[in-house]
Amino acid sequence: MEDDDCIQLFNRMRRRPVLIDRFGLNMTIKSLCRKEHVREAFGCLGVGIKTGIMYDVITFSTLLDALIETNKFLEFEQFVEKVVRGKLCEPNIVMQNTVVKGFCRFGALKDAMIYYKIMEISDCKPDNFTYNTIMNCLCETDMLDLALVMSCTMFRKGIDPDVVTYNSFINCYLTLGHWDEADKVLKEMLEMGIHGSAITYTILIMAHCHEVILELSCGI
């Protein structure tokens, strides 16, 4: 189903009852969110509920992600409260990670950590994505010590780091001017058999360019 078809379907749903199942509802909401028609997507959910269509974890994950991408923190926070804490559905790991990603994206690190702790005692334990998201947020806010503590927790739980994990620490060390530490992390990553990504090399190039500019400015 194309995006425009889904939008037309939503407009028809608003005017009169349309036979549609949960899959159709989710596809319509996803397409509306892709076009950043978030208000219409929530309207579609409301119409679906009124017509007896059962929502599911995919429905809420899609709407949460749309609120993140359209930078609507207040609405995101309220929706998390309503869906997750109101237990409107049984969250899966994708939905849990979407909530963590949202709080980190909006700079609400305290809320992200609270939700991380909730995950630890739930059936959906934190995974690689959860740790990477929080550690990256910690690194970006110069909370390197806490990020390192979290990485130790991650390793202790048997969750292997990936290129995203290493990129966060390399970028943080370079931002703080700790070139030797960044080099150690890079070497460890390569020794682990993890190849650098385009982001890895972009981080290194940007750091070297910044260093060259500083040297040139000092020499003027």
CA distance 177 to 200: 16
- How does pLDDT run across 83-136, given as a tens digit for each residue? 877 888 888 999 999 999 999 999 999 999 999 999 999 888 999 999 999 999
The larger pLDDT score, comparing residue 83 to residue 213, is at 83
Q: Which of 17-21, 160-164, 176-180 has the lowest mean pLDDT?
A: 17-21
pLDDT classification of 4: cutoffs 50, 70, 90: low
pLDDT at 24: 79
104 vs 132: CA distance, rounded Å = 11
**Over the stretch 31-56, which tens digit does the pLDDT of each residue have?**
889 888 899 899 888 877 877 777 88
Buried b / exposed e across 78-115, counting CB within 10 Å, b at 16+?
Answer: ebbeebbeeeebebebebbbbbbbbbbbbebbebbbeb
> In terms of pLDDT, which residue wins out, 1 or 148?
148
Please give the model's pTM, rounded to 2 decimal places. Answer: 0.83
pLDDT at 220: 43
Task: Read off the amino acid at residue 72.
Answer: K
87 vs 159: which has the higher pLDDT: 159
**Does the pLDDT at position 76 exceed 90?**
yes
pLDDT of amino acid 154: 92
